[in-house]
Amino acid sequence: MPRILSESEAERFIIQLLSARGPMTTGEIEAIARKEGKRCPDETVLFLSKLRSKGKIKGELSQEKRGWLWWV
């Protein structure tokens, strides 16, 4: 069962992940988190949207990827 990260842990995890790997979809982020036994405090897309609205990450809908694409 995945460990639910605190807001600050999840924020750090997402920013480090996107910094290291470049732009990623919501599904790609979820898959890596699942593999590492981690989970965002909210639904992943909601948490990513919160980070975007705070200016911590960037994101936009991608027709090519058929979903949200996130980056730092």
Per-residue model confidence as pLDDT tens digits over 24-62: 999 999 999 999 999 999 999 999 999 999 999 999 999
CATH code for position 57: 1.10.10.10
Range of the domain at 63: 3-71
pTM of the model: 0.93
Counting the structural domains of the chain, the total is 1
Distance CA 10, CA 5 (A): 5
Please name the residue that has the structure tokens 């979820």.
30
Whether residue 32 contacts residue 42, with contact meaning beta carbons closer than 8 Å, is answered with: no
DSSP state of 23: S
Distance CA 32, CA 38 (A): 9
